[in-house]
Every structure is written in C-alpha cells, then in structure tokens.
Structure 1
Amino acid sequence: MSPIQTLRRHRVAALLGAALIVSPFALPLAPRLNDVLAATVTPPVTGMTAPSGSFAPVVAADKPAVVTITTVMKAQQPDTMSDASPFGGTSPFDDYFRHFFDDQGQPAPKTPPEQAPRTEALGSGFIVGDDGTIVTNNHVVDGAQSIKVTLDDGTELPAKLIGHDAKNDLAVLKVKTGKPLPTVKWGDSDKLMPGDQVLAFGNPFGLGTTVTAGIVSARGRDLHSGPFDDFIQIDAPINRGNSGGPLTAVNGNVVGINTAIFSPNGGSVGVGFAIPSDQAQKVVAKLMKGGSIQYGYLGVQIQPVTPDMASAIGLDHPAGVLVAQVSDGSPAANAGIETGDVITSFAGLDIKDPRDLSRGVADVAPGTRETLNVWRKGQSLQISVEVGRNEDDMATGSVTGDQGQPSTEQGLRAPALGLGLMDVTPDARQAMNLAGNQHGALVERVDPNKAASASGIQPGDIIVAVDQHPVRSARQANQAIVQAAKSGKKSVLLLVERGDAQMFVAVPFASG
C-alpha cells in the first residue's frame, strides 16, 4: 500500500465521539411489539425509600396521567432501517441502533416496497393538559403513519401530532375525549442534584404502566446526540418502551423525560438518561403554538478551549469556545468573526463550553441582533451579529486555500512533536480527492510515542495554520513550529483540516 493510499484511508476514517468509548450501546427506548419477550430481567433497586416510607402516594397521583403510545409505520428492509435512532443520522451510535432494531425479533419479509408490511412500536408519554395534550419523545412518533394512545384505564384513542422537534427529541400529541383528563405538573429540573431521589414512569416492553425508583447519578451529560444535549443521568431502571415517559421528583412533579440508556444487552444496567424538564417545557410550549421551532444560526464550527490551547493563544485560563471554521456567507462571516476567535460571551451570557453557545444562539429568534465578546490575538473585541435562521440543509461551508505555488521540499519533521510533514502535492490532491487550491502541510506520519499522537493528530490530516498564522507548505509549518518553541510557549496551536471539518489542536512541547 502506497503512502498516499495510507493517507487516504486515514482521512476517510470517521472521527467518533468519546461517548462511544464509554459503553458499547446507547439505545432508544421504543421497541417493536414483537420484541417484548426478548427483555432481560432487571433486578430491583434496593435501599430506596421515600421520605414517608413509601412512594405509593406519588405513584397513585401520577400514574393516571402516564400513557402508552403505539405507532404504526411501514416496515423497511433491514439494510435501510436508519430512522429509529433519536441520535440523528450522523451519530456514532447509528450502527448500534440499526443493529438493535433490525436483528432483534422477527426480520421483515423481503416484499416489494408497495407491499411492505406495517410494524408497530411502543413508547410512553404523559398528559400535561386536561384537554388531551401529551408530551413524548420525537423518536417515538417519528415517521409514524398513525398514532394511538392508551390511557391508564385502558381507553384507546387516536392521537394527532401537534408538533415535533428532532434536535431536542420532543413531540406533542393531542387526543380528544368527552371529559377532562388527569395531568402531571412540570417541576424544576435545575434544582436537581446528584443523589436526589427520582421515579421513572413508562411502559417497558409493553408490560403496562410501570414505575421504578432511583437517584440522579449526574447532570449535564452530553451523548453527542444533538446540539442541545444536557441529559440527566439516572440509575432508576428504564428499558425499551420507557421512551417519552415522565421522570418525577418525590413530590410528583415532572423533572425529566426518559429518553435513552447505555446498555450492552438491550436491558437496563442502571445508566439511563432523561431530558431536563426546564429544557423540555420551553420546547413543548413552542410546539403547542406553532408546530415547529425556528432556531438561531451563526455558521461557525466551535470547540472547547483546553488548557494547552489557552496557553498557546495567550489566555490566562481556559474560557469560551474556539472558532475552528466560519461558513462562507453565514451571519458569522458577515459580522466579521474569524477562525481562531475565542467567543467568551453571547447576548450577555458567559460562554463556558460549546453547548452554552449552541443553546444561546438557538434560543434567539432569527433576525435578532446580538453582541458577541471575542478574544482575538491578545485583544478583547465586541462584535454585533444578526442571527440567521438554522435550516437543516445549510452547508457548513467549504474551506479554500490560497492560490500560490506549493513548496517542493518534503519529509520535514516538526521538532519535538513527532510529526512527519510533506507538501500537498498534485498526486496527494488526486489520491485524497482534495480541491486543486488546497495547500498546507500534509501529515505523512505520526510518532505514536510523541506529543502529536497523544493530542489526536492523525496521518492524512492537513495543517493549514500554526499559532493562527496560515501555512502553505511543510517548510512553513515546520518553521512556524520551531519559532513557537523558541518563543518559550508551552504548546503550539495547530489548525487541522480533516475531511470536511476543521479543528484546532494544541500540542504541548513539554511532552515531546
């Protein structure tokens, strides 16, 4: 295999999120009916007690408002079933979702599309309005041809989808009855702390409304399922079919919506996740009014600021988010935001991590003008930006290089970092399907025992800037790295292009 072939193979490899390393499976909780008997038995949680000695009063009050949701959809062939995942089409968990939904239970028969059989799936929900307004997960009803709600007393009612939002994985349904329905109240999820007791309601495996008890294990979990991840982690057993069911505090108020689990076997192992009620309640209110949500849009790719990055760009401590790429023609580009800027606040809100900025921008109505505080090359600046509208089909924006001639010198090794660099030659452009004007320093090899490898640099990456100064060749990159080392910096900041994305990587000299 030639060096160029090797680089191409590394370049097209998917960059997976760290959550995939934590556990082999992350599963949605809405199963097909024929999967019910495949459930593994989960041992009961021991040692949980309510303040009064029993959760029975809470269960008696809330259980009548918990519903079972049955959806009917046209079955897809096993190799095309990809919409069952609440984590979206580009999630590193998608393979596991497809495996889970395709291989468990009876496979769909090989029939022509027009004769494809229908399948049924189960989920849960809860009533928030006595007029029949019901909240559930989007992935419970996504793609459904029809939706049926079964009340706690066994009454079956057809349901209408009022609104849904894939980014937050939430949906609102409506059923019609001749009488007011029992409801549950929203609670304050912001007051939850690790160790607080919680109850999880739902219909696991189609057995009927069930309640389990546990505690809040952690807050603010990011499963890489979407831009607004802020999950509550719980150890109360939840399983397939619990999706969309309420998570309540011991006072009976809803503090979350059961959404996903990590599991090696399809059953609960005590690691479940719920959408916080404070986030859900705002989204539900918007869905009830308009059926969909318009999110604000900036047009930047961002990443956290690590201690090494802070040192490289002159910050006293890690703060804000680093702009790795600005989409052409985006609101950010029009406002003058640049690659390498560190956004420290938006609309008066301090930005501590990428989720802060994603949520802050998303909550702003398109067309609103807001102020950004940025750190740029040692100076603090204020930038006014008109927030755009986030469309699902908006492209991130392509990266263009400069138009000069590339250097012909190859094989340079960056000192101390463990990088073998070469120019982006015409052969490399052709082999790696790069643009004709693509320049920079192509990473030919990485010493596995050096700092660059530990920082995540891979063969096939293209270094396009060093310490926020563009580089066109391996020689320029090497010289810039040497200069950074001579200046006494603890690390050097590399802007790396990998596939269609750009990211900053801070490589420390000390570990070289």
Structure 2
Amino acid sequence: MQRVVRLARRSIPLVLLGLVACERSAPTMPGGYPDFADLVERVSPAVVNISTVASEAAATDGAQVPLQPESFEDAPEWLRRFFDQHPEPLAPEADTPDAYPPPQQSLGSGFILSEDGYILTNYHVVRGAREVIVRLLDRRQFVAELIGSDEASDLALLRIDASDLPVARLAKDSGNLRPGQWVLAIGSPFGFDYSVTAGIVSAKGRALATEQYVPFIQTDVAINPGNSGGPLFNLAGEVVGVNSQIYSQSGGYQGVSFSIPIDVAAKVARQLRETGTVTRGWLGVVVQEVDRNLAQQFGIDKPEGALIARVLPESPAARAGLREGDVILRYNGEPLPSSSSLPHLVGVTDPGEIATLEVIRGGRRLRVDVAVGTLRAEPLAQDGPAAPAPMPAARTRLGLELRALTAEERRDAQVMHGGLMVVAVTDGPAARAGVRPGDVLLQIGGQRVDSLERFAEVTERLIPGQTVAVLVQRRGAPLFLALDVPVSARD
C-alpha cells in the first residue's frame, strides 16, 4: 500500500501542514472493528522518541527524582501529568567518572511537523533539560534545539538538523471529532518505543484545573508515562491531538486520558516557529460558574455562561464597560455552556480584534464590543490605598461578624477598595450561603460595602424571602454566592 507520509525533495511550510486530502479510513475486521495495522505502518515514521538530560539547576531543584502527582484542594482525584523517567541505571562496574551514568533522563514522545526537522512535543517533557535527544523509527538519533515553549498550553517546538523527514499530517479541524469516534495513539510508554493503543473519543472541550487555555479532547485510549507529547490519530491517519495528561487515583492509566486539540497545538507551533513566543488575547476579567441559585438571581433561564466576579482596572473589559455581576452568554457568537469555555475563546483571539459579547445585566440582554488586549506573562499590579486601622469586630444581621481590613490584609487579599473582613460566621443565612471566616465581603445585591454603616444600610433594604448575590474575595479570588434573605424578624 502506498505510504501517505513519504520523503519529498523540499520542505513543506508549517502553515500548509494538514491541508493534504484525507485518505480512506482504516479497513475493518470481522465484527466491524477497525484494522489499524496499515494505518500504524503509514504513520509511525513521523513519530519520535524524546529523551532529555536534566540541567544541573533542575537536578538541584529535585527534577531528577520521579515527581509526585499534583493534587488540587477542591478536586476529588489527582490530576497527574506525565513526568516520565527511565528505569534506574545499573550500578557501574568500575569506580571511574566515565562509569557513572549522566543525570536521570525523562522520556516522552513527539511527532515531526515538517521535512526540515521541526518537532512538536509537550513542554513538560523538555522542561529543565540540558540536552534533548530525538530518536527516529530508523534508530537515527539527533540532539535537538529548543525553538520555543509555551507553558500555558504545555507545548514545545524542537528542531533537529535533518532533511527529507517523514511528516505527520495534521487534521484541518479537531472540532470535527465526535464522541464515539475511533482514535489511535503511538508513543513510548515506560520506554517501550512505538507502542500502539486505540480507543474512542469520550468527550470534547474538557476544562482542567491546570490548563485555562486548552479545551481538551478526552479519550479512553491507554496513555501512560512516556506517551507525553505523542500524536493522537484519527482513522484517516491525521493527527487530531497531542497526548498530554491523565486523570488518575493510582498515577497510571485508568481509562481517562486528555489530548490537546491539534488546531490549538498547530497555532502555538506556528507562533513558536515564527517568533519563539505565543501571544494570547486578554479581556481582564475573573469569572466563575453560574449555579441554579445564581442563575435565578441574575435573571438567566438556566445555569450557563461566565459570571464576571472581577473586572481588572484599565483592562479591555473595563474600557468596554463590563461590570461585576454581568454574565457573558456568548463570545463572538459562540455559546458559553460554562465559565471554563471563555478563557480558550479569548486566548485564541488576536490582540486588537473586536470581540462581540452577549451579556445579561440586571435581567436584560446587552451586546458589548471589546477591543481584545494582549495577555501578559506577569499579573497586573493592583496596589490600593491603605485601609483604616483595624477596629473591633461587630456582629451584624445575616449571622456575620465583620470589621475593617488592615493594610496588610487588603494587600494579601488583593482588594483595592472597600470590603469588610469576615471575622466569624454564626448559624444563619450567610453560613448557609457558604460565607467563611477570612472572606472579604465586597458586595451584597450589587451594592458595594466598605463600612459597617454601609453594610447596615444595604442589608436594611433587602426584601425578606429574596435571594441576593453576595460577592466575597477568598484567598485572592472573587466568588459570588447566593444568599437567601430570612423571612423572620431581622436580627
């Protein structure tokens, strides 16, 4: 059978990759299951094995020991990234410097983007590396140059000094994938080169706690340490994703794997090749999920969209007139089923482009046009005026004990103006809403509170039996909560 990936006389520009006409799908075996053998033979030459030697600095920081899974405070399971390791080296036969092995190596995978040696892999595979070694299917080895990396998407672009290399074909749009479709992974799990595993697409557009700018493809393809950075193929032999993460309680494969969509990966690779860096769009808002109670409070038919909990000063959102409490339902016509859908859509927008937002404000639908800015690597400074000296806590209605913030508390909480420190929460409406000691109370029912007098004034006007939105700052992050105003006599 004719190979789809074949040697050519001249290099194919990265921007043209993936535009080759699709081949026919893999043949089927008795029973309707696909026969992957011919597909694997065609695409394997474009897959590479990647090993790295850690730098001395990385070794000092502990990068040479197997890294433990990352845990997240609110996650029921650990989300583990593949920091892959070689088996322990054998003991040297002689006590000489040359007999000892180099610093421990990590092991991953990648695939060839162009005939002149550009290779895509995961950033975490090459992070902290002193030397990156790429091995091809024909056993040739090359020391690779790191062209650029992007930690936000966990991607890195390498280049080896070679020509006429076999090239992986990229799918035009991974958005055409559908849950239930067959997909195939090739990589080096545990150092076993060119291992093939297959499964189906489980879901699309998955948001993970560690990645805000990637709508992951979820599959049940067996992915293990060493598959990191390797390609995920469809039955046409096109790369639809970059295998990146697993979700596991044991640290090994448990049926849930995640891949970076190829349209996201290709755009990052193109920017890294052209400039060495990645530019992303920026609105300047902090958003949160809309639950059933908040949907009712903000006049939405069902829980959807991205609720703006904070608008950063001097940001594109602030200049466009967006406010805390606005709920973004659509971004450039794309619906937002959840708040996690927004960062990726903003991130792939070119800075300077005008984005059109559909917003709910006070029960009314508005159209807001925003000139998208450029995402900075560093957080914006948010220094504010010093708060008054601390005063004794005062018990208020709704079951809260509040006081003014100290200057240090205001700085730690990243609160520029207003706000009251929650000292204690007694049994009552605030406790049932989820307010905690240590929160900074910013708003009630859309009204800012900056003193105990202002708090009393605002709460005095609340209607018994009404549900109102309460905005607090918790560990530096804004959060809306739904508070039910008690019907009984006010305390």
TM over 0.5: yes
Q: Aligned residue for 2:401?
A: 421
The 2-side partners of 1:420 and 1:361 are apart by 38
Q: Aligned residue for 1:36?
A: none
473, 476, 480: which one pairs with 1:504?
Answer: 480
Which runs of structure 2 are paired with 1:335-354 in the superposition (5 Å)? 335-354=320-339
User: Normalising to structure 2: TM-score of the pair?
Assistant: 0.77
Q: Aligned residue for 1:412?
A: 396
The yes-or-no answer on 1:300 pairing with 2:276 is: no
Q: Aligned residue for 1:35?
A: none
Q: Any idea what SS the aligned residue of 2:379 has?
A: coil
34, 50, 53: which one pairs with 1:69?
Answer: 50
The yes-or-no answer on 1:367 pairing with 2:352 is: yes
Unmatched segments (≥5 aa) in structure 2: 1-28, 90-101
- The answer (yes or no) to whether the contact 2:81–2:245 under 8 Å persists in 1 is no
Q: Aligned residue for 2:471?
A: 495
- The answer (yes or no) to whether the contact 1:256–1:277 under 8 Å persists in 2 is yes
- The answer (yes or no) to whether the contact 1:441–1:464 under 8 Å persists in 2 is no
Paired letter, 1:173: L
Q: Aligned residue for 1:241?
A: 226
User: Normalising to structure 1: TM-score of the pair?
Assistant: 0.74
443, 446, 469: which one pairs with 1:465?
Answer: 443
Unmatched segments (≥5 aa) in structure 1: 1-47, 107-116
- The answer (yes or no) to whether the contact 1:186–1:281 under 8 Å persists in 2 is no
Paired letter, 2:239: V
The 2-side partners of 1:82 and 1:374 are apart by 49
Provide the aligned length of Structure 1 versus Structure 2.
Answer: 446
Q: Aligned residue for 1:58?
A: 39
Distance 1:91 1:235, change over 3 A: same
Offset of residue 509 of structure 1: 5.7
Which runs of structure 2 are paired with 1:4-83 in the superposition (5 Å)? 51=32, 54-75=35-56, 76=58, 81=63
The superposition leaves residues 351-385 of structure 1 with CA deviations (integer Å, 9 ceiling, x where unpaired) of 44333332232222223344444333344444443
Paired letter, 2:350: A
- Greater helix share, 1 or 2? 1
The 1-side partners of 2:320 and 2:134 are apart by 48
Offset of residue 230 of structure 1: 1.6
The 1-side partners of 2:129 and 2:230 are apart by 18
Note the aligned Cα RMSD (angstroms). 4.1
Q: Aligned residue for 1:445?
A: 425
Q: Aligned residue for 1:192?
A: 177
- The answer (yes or no) to whether the contact 1:423–1:439 under 8 Å persists in 2 is no
Which runs of structure 2 are paired with 1:244-255 in the superposition (5 Å)? 244-255=229-240
Which runs of structure 2 are paired with 1:302-341 in the superposition (5 Å)? 302-341=287-326
- The answer (yes or no) to whether the contact 1:481–1:492 under 8 Å persists in 2 is no
The yes-or-no answer on 1:167 pairing with 2:152 is: yes
- The answer (yes or no) to whether the contact 1:443–1:463 under 8 Å persists in 2 is no
Q: Any idea what SS the aligned residue of 1:62 has?
A: helix
- The answer (yes or no) to whether the contact 2:298–2:360 under 8 Å persists in 1 is no
Paired letter, 2:171: W
Q: Any idea what SS the aligned residue of 1:262 has?
A: strand
Paired letter, 2:166: L
Offset of residue 463 of structure 1: 1.5
Identity %: 35
Offset of residue 430 of structure 1: 9.8
The 2-side partners of 1:275 and 1:129 are apart by 19
The superposition leaves residues 383-402 of structure 1 with CA deviations (integer Å, 9 ceiling, x where unpaired) of 4433222111132735769x
The 2-side partners of 1:436 and 1:192 are apart by 45
